[in-house]
Structure 1
C-alpha cells in the first residue's frame, strides 16, 4: 500500500501531509461520563475553547448511553462538558442533565493520551454552560454513537469498505467524524461467547462478511473493532484496551475470542502483550495473513514517499514496532493459531513467495510460529482468505476446540462474590467507577511469586453494588475496593471463594485527597503519537518525592520491592512509589507543593490544588523542563 502514495495527485499528497502533521500534533482526551440521575438516553461530550467570548467546539462525540468517550484535539487548553440529549438535537435543552470537567482547563500537549477526564451530569448541576448550547454546527453533524457496544448493521455506510479506506488515508478526519469503536451486531447476551473481529490496513467490518454470515450465532456473538487503520498501531492497541476495559466493566464477560486479519493481528498482539494480564477472559487468538515480519514496501514508502501515513512507520520491516513486537510473550491462558496464504503471483514489487500483498517470510516469522499451537496454510490471496470455505471450516473447529478446553460449564469449580458499596456522603456522586481487587493470600505472602500476575482486577459500576460477581477461581483472597479520590472502609477483607456459600462484602467510600502521577519516558512526539500511552521512565534514579502544604509534609523514597503493589498500597491508604509512578493519599483539601529529586536533574517543583473526592489528571512529568508549567 505504501507505494500507492506515488500515484496520488498533488492535492492528495498535500492533504496526506496535513493529516500526518495533524496526527503527530494531536492529543486524545478520554474519560467516563456518569449520571447523578437515572439517565439511559444519548449523551453529548465536547472539548471547546472560547475566543472573543464565543464558544468554539474543537471536537465532540455522541454516546448512546453514559460511559466512556474519546476526543481528539490539537495542542492547547480546553474545557470539557457533557450533557444528556433526550431529543437527539445535539443541543442542551431545558431539563437535560449537564456537567463539566473540573474548574481548570485541560492542557493537551500535542502527543499521546490524557485519561481519567471524568464528568458527572446532573439535571440539578450549576453549570456555566448556557441552555441552547449546541454542537450541531452543520447539517451533516454526526449522531451515531461512539460509546462501546453500540449496535450497528453490517450494511451501514459507516462500516463500508469506502469508509474503511478513508480511515487509512485520512485517520484524523476519520476519528473526528466516525471515531474508533467496538460495535455489536446484536444486543449483548451473557449466554454467548463474544468473538472480536479486527480488520487490517484500509479494511472495514465488511471484510468479515463471510465469517459473520457463517458464524454460529446461537453460541457466539460477534463484536467488531473498527478503527482508523492509518493511525499508529501503538495508538490503536491502546484504544482497543480502552474499549475492552469499558466493556468488561459493563458486562463482566468471562470468555473472549479474538480474530484478526493482516495488520489487525499486529494491533491485537500488542494489546495482548501489554494488557492481556488484565483480561483473563481472552482464551483464543487467531490471525490470518498478518505481516509479523513487517513489509519492506513500507520501509521504501517511509524513505522515499513525499507523504507518509502514520501506520507505515509501524509496519516497516526494519522499524521499532516490528523489531520489538515479540518482546513480551502472549498471556499464558491464551491459545494462538496462525493462518497464512501463499496464493500471490510473482511481480516486480513482490518477487518472493507471497499472498499478493504480504510475503510468506513475513507471515511465517519464526517468533510467531513458535507461539502458535498450530500453523495453517492456504493457496489463497490476501483478501480471498477471508471468504474461503476451507478457512472458515478450520476456524469454526478452533472455536469449538476452545469451547471444550475452557469448558461449557464455565462456572464449574469456581465461585461468586457479592459486593455492596455506598458513599459516606450520599450526595457525593463519583465521576469514576471503582475497581475490585482480589489478591490471592498465598501469592501475597510468597515474596518469590509475582502477585500482579495472580491478582484479579475487576472494574465495577454503581449498578453492580449488591450483585453477584464472578465466577472467580476458588481460593483465599484479600478483597479490596479502589475508587480514585476515595478511601475505602474496610481497606480489605479476607474471604474464601468457591467453598459453598457466596461471601457478602460491604464497603463504605469516603472522599479523600489524592495526588498521583509519573515521570514520563523521554520520547519524541513521533514515538508518542496521538492516542498512545506514554510509559514511565526506567533510566533514572529517583532519590525522593516530597509533598508539602506548609503544615503537612510527606516524603516517599524508592523501595527494593520489585513487585508492583500500587493498587494494594492505595487500598491500604499508603503513600507509594514504584519505578517512576507515585501516589499520595489521605490528603486534606488545599494547595500542595510537589518536589521530585532525581539524580542528575534539577529538582522538579510544581504546586497542585487537591480536593477530596475529586481526582485530577496529571500529564506525564517531563524532567527535561522541570519547572515548566503544564
Structure 2
C-alpha cells in the first residue's frame, strides 16, 4: 500500500493535533489546580502566548520606588512617570497616579531612566501652567532588569525649570474614566470593576500588565479612623478584594476598619512581600496606628508570613495574624507546572513544595508580640488528580505543615472547601471570637505593661530639599534587656509626636535617618505606665555611602520588585573609598553580631560580611574599590551630597576566570 506525501502530512498533522489537545488539556487541569477552583476557566493558546510575553517582561524589569513631597500646600492628585529621551522627545516607560503627594512605584524594563512628577489638579495627565513639578535629578536611574531601586525621593514645586516643559502629556485619559490612585489609603468602592473576580484572575495571568494599569496597593473602604483597629485582608491566587465580601459585611465596623491588599497574584511572592512591606511602612508613617491585624486566604498567607518574618521587626504594631486555607507546604502541582509547562506563572516558582521560597519560609520567626491562628478547611471532594485529602484545591498535609502548627496559638478545622471557607457563618463566628480575644489581650497590656514616649527632631538643612524619613530605635538596657529592640518607622514631619504604647522598661533611644548624623547619638529613656519621657534630637547632614555585595543569583532569582539578599559566602579582602584628601579602608568583620546601626550612630565606618558603610563624608566625588577573593576588583565613582541619601543598588562582582 502506497501512502502519498499528502497522506503522510495529514497523518502527521493529526498526530500533532491529538498531542496538542492532550497537552493543552493537561495544562488546563494543571492551571486549574494551581490557580484554585476560581480559575477553572479554560486557557486558550492565546492566553499562553500572552503569559509567555508577561513572564519575559516580569523577569527583565525593575521596580522603582520613592516618595513625592511638596514645598507648598498641595493635596490634589500627583502624576509620577519614568521616562527616557529619544531624539529630544520624552518617551514614557510607565506612569502612575497618586491622589496626593506620597509614595509611588513604577515598573520599567532594563535601561537608564529619569523620573519626574507633577501636580494634576484637573486629572488630564498633562502638566498645565501653574501646576507644581519636580524631577529626580541626582543621577540617571539604572534599572538592571531585576529587583528594586529605592529611595528615589524628590520635591514638586513651582520653581522655574526647563527639563519638563508645560504641556507634557504622559497619557490620554479614557473618556468618562476616573483616575485610579495607587497610593496607600485610597478609598475604594468594592463594586468597582477593577476589584472584581474577573480583574483578579487577569492579575494572575498578566501580573505586569495589571501592575502597570492598576498597581498593587492597600485600599480603604472609608477614611482612616484612629479609634478603630485596622484589619488588613489579603486575597489568594487569582483573588480580589471581593473574595472578602462576606467578612466585610459581617465585621463589626464600629470597632474595626477593613483594609485590603490588592496585588497581582501571578507575580513572585518575594516581590509581593516586599511590596506589602513598602505599603505598610508608608501607612505606619502616615497614620501611626498602634495595632493592626492581618487576615489572609490561601497563597496570601504565604505573602503575609514572608512579610512578617523578614520585615516584622519594624512593625511592633502587628498583633494578630489569621490564615485561612494557606498551603504552608506548597503545592506539588506547582512543581509539575514548573517542570512540564511551556510557560510558567512566576508565582508557581514560589509555590513549589520543593522550592526555595517554601523551604525557607519558616527559617525566621514571626515577630514577638504577634499571635497567629491557623484556620483550615477539610471539605473538599475526592479528586482523581490528587491521592491525598484536600479542601478541594490544597492538600491537608500542606495546610497543616508542622512548622505552621508549631507557631499557632490555635489550629481550627472546618468542613468547608477552599472557596466556601470565605463565606461560612461558622468560620466567621470563630474569626470574630479571635478578634475579640486579641482586643482583650491588647487592652490589658496597654493599661498595665506599656507606656509612651514623645520625640522631637530637627533637620539642620534647607527646607527646599526632601528629608529622609527616620526610624525610631528603642534598645532595651538593664533590667529586661533580653527584650527585642523596637524599630518604628516615623515620618519626617512627626517631630514632637507621641509614640507608643511600648513595653515598660529602660531603653537607649535614638532617631536613625540615612544621610544625617544624630545629635546626641542616643538618650536614656525610662518608659513606664502613666509617664511620658520627652526626647529631643538634631539631625545634621552628613555624606554617606553604604551598600552591599549582592548574593550570586541565577535567572529568575531576583525578579522585579524583590529584595536581593547580601552575599553570605564571599570573602572580602578590603573596601577602599578615595576622595579629595580622603582615603579610607575597611576590612569586614565575620562572625558575631552585626553592629552596623550602632557604628552608624557612633559616626564610625563599618563593614560586616558583605555590607559596608562610610559616614561623615564631605560633598564631592569618590571612588569605591572592592577587592574580594576569587573575584575581579570592583571600581565605581559616586557623587556624595550630605543630607541626600542615594540608594546604592546591590554590587555585582565578576568571578576571576579559571
TM-score of the aligned structures, taking structure 1 as reference length = 0.94
Q: Equivalences for 1:478-557 in 2 at 5 Å?
A: 478-498=508-528, 501-557=531-587
Q: Equivalences for 1:267-282 in 2 at 5 Å?
A: 267-282=303-318
Q: 1:167 aligns with which of 203, 212, 216?
A: 203
Question: How far, CA to CA, are the matches of 2:491 and 2:569 in structure 1?
Answer: 37
Question: How far, CA to CA, are the matches of 2:566 and 2:294 in structure 1?
Answer: 29
Q: 1:427 aligns with which of 456, 463, 486?
A: 463
Q: Equivalences for 1:150-165 in 2 at 5 Å?
A: 150-165=186-201
Q: Is the 2:548–2:610 contact (alpha carbons within 8 Å) kept by the matching residues of 1?
A: yes
SS in 2 for 1:269: helix
Residue 98 (structure 1) aligned with residue 133 (structure 2): yes
SS in 1 for 2:394: coil
What residue in structure 2 maps to residue 465 of structure 1? Answer: 495
SS in 1 for 2:493: helix
Question: How far, CA to CA, are the matches of 2:564 and 2:344 in structure 1?
Answer: 22
Question: How far, CA to CA, are the matches of 2:162 and 2:260 in structure 1?
Answer: 37
What residue in structure 2 maps to residue 568 of structure 1? Answer: 598
Deviations along 1:130-152, one digit per CA (max 9) or x if unpaired, are: 11112124537872111111111
* Bigger radius of gyration: 2
Pick which of 337-346 and 617-626 moved more.
617-626
Residue 599 (structure 1) aligned with residue 629 (structure 2): yes
- The structure-2 alpha-carbon separation of the partners of 1:337 and 1:223, relative to structure 1 and needing over 3 Å to count, comes to same
Question: How far, CA to CA, are the matches of 2:617 and 2:432 in structure 1?
Answer: 55
Q: Is the 1:270–1:325 contact (alpha carbons within 8 Å) kept by the matching residues of 2?
A: yes
Question: How far, CA to CA, are the matches of 2:210 and 2:126 in structure 1?
Answer: 23
Question: How far, CA to CA, are the matches of 1:154 and 1:334 in structure 2?
Answer: 29
Q: Is the 1:142–1:177 contact (alpha carbons within 8 Å) kept by the matching residues of 2?
A: no
Question: How far, CA to CA, are the matches of 1:179 and 1:509 in structure 2?
Answer: 34
User: How much does 1:553 deviate?
Assistant: 1.3
What residue in structure 1 maps to residue 618 of structure 2? Answer: 588
Q: Is the 2:455–2:496 contact (alpha carbons within 8 Å) kept by the matching residues of 1?
A: yes
Q: 1:185 aligns with which of 190, 202, 221?
A: 221
Question: How far, CA to CA, are the matches of 2:92 and 2:167 in structure 1?
Answer: 14
Q: Is the 1:34–1:431 contact (alpha carbons within 8 Å) kept by the matching residues of 2?
A: no
What residue in structure 1 maps to residue 242 of structure 2? Answer: 206
- The structure-2 alpha-carbon separation of the partners of 1:443 and 1:62, relative to structure 1 and needing over 3 Å to count, comes to farther
How many residues were matched structurally? 621
Question: How far, CA to CA, are the matches of 1:119 and 1:70 in structure 2?
Answer: 14
Q: 1:406 aligns with which of 442, 449, 473?
A: 442
Residue 49 (structure 1) aligned with residue 88 (structure 2): no
Q: Is the 1:111–1:525 contact (alpha carbons within 8 Å) kept by the matching residues of 2?
A: no
- The structure-2 alpha-carbon separation of the partners of 1:430 and 1:183, relative to structure 1 and needing over 3 Å to count, comes to same
- The structure-2 alpha-carbon separation of the partners of 1:190 and 1:408, relative to structure 1 and needing over 3 Å to count, comes to farther
Residue 456 (structure 1) aligned with residue 486 (structure 2): yes
User: How much does 1:58 deviate?
Assistant: 0.4
Q: Is the 1:98–1:127 contact (alpha carbons within 8 Å) kept by the matching residues of 2?
A: no
Question: How far, CA to CA, are the matches of 1:407 and 1:571 in structure 2?
Answer: 35
Q: Equivalences for 1:93-492 in 2 at 5 Å?
A: 93-124=128-159, 126-137=161-172, 139=174, 143-407=179-443, 410=446, 412-442=448-478, 454-492=484-522
SS in 1 for 2:282: helix
SS in 1 for 2:53: helix
What residue in structure 1 maps to residue 6 of structure 2? Answer: none
Q: Is the 1:41–1:65 contact (alpha carbons within 8 Å) kept by the matching residues of 2?
A: yes
- The structure-2 alpha-carbon separation of the partners of 1:40 and 1:408, relative to structure 1 and needing over 3 Å to count, comes to farther
- The structure-2 alpha-carbon separation of the partners of 1:462 and 1:328, relative to structure 1 and needing over 3 Å to count, comes to closer
Q: Is the 1:100–1:127 contact (alpha carbons within 8 Å) kept by the matching residues of 2?
A: no
- The structure-2 alpha-carbon separation of the partners of 1:537 and 1:502, relative to structure 1 and needing over 3 Å to count, comes to same
User: How much does 1:570 deviate?
Assistant: 2.0
- The structure-2 alpha-carbon separation of the partners of 1:30 and 1:411, relative to structure 1 and needing over 3 Å to count, comes to farther
What residue in structure 2 maps to residue 4 of structure 1? Answer: 31
- The structure-2 alpha-carbon separation of the partners of 1:175 and 1:110, relative to structure 1 and needing over 3 Å to count, comes to same
SS in 2 for 1:442: coil
What residue in structure 2 maps to residue 75 of structure 1? Answer: 110
User: How much does 1:547 deviate?
Assistant: 0.7
Question: How far, CA to CA, are the matches of 1:343 and 1:425 in structure 2?
Answer: 62
- The structure-2 alpha-carbon separation of the partners of 1:574 and 1:127, relative to structure 1 and needing over 3 Å to count, comes to farther
SS in 2 for 1:297: helix
Question: How far, CA to CA, are the matches of 1:405 and 1:613 in structure 2?
Answer: 42
Deviations along 1:242-282, one digit per CA (max 9) or x if unpaired, are: 11111111122221111111111111111111111221211
User: How much does 1:546 deviate?
Assistant: 1.1
Q: Is the 1:25–1:525 contact (alpha carbons within 8 Å) kept by the matching residues of 2?
A: no
Q: 1:23 aligns with which of 58, 63, 80?
A: 58
Q: Is the 2:247–2:422 contact (alpha carbons within 8 Å) kept by the matching residues of 1?
A: yes
What residue in structure 1 maps to residue 9 of structure 2? Answer: none
What residue in structure 1 maps to residue 648 of structure 2? Answer: 618
Pick which of 172-181 and 58-67 moved more.
58-67
- The structure-2 alpha-carbon separation of the partners of 1:347 and 1:503, relative to structure 1 and needing over 3 Å to count, comes to closer
The runs of at least 4 aligned residues of structure 1 exceeding 4 Å deviation read: none
Q: 2:95 aligns with which of 53, 56, 60?
A: 60
Q: Is the 2:153–2:466 contact (alpha carbons within 8 Å) kept by the matching residues of 1?
A: no
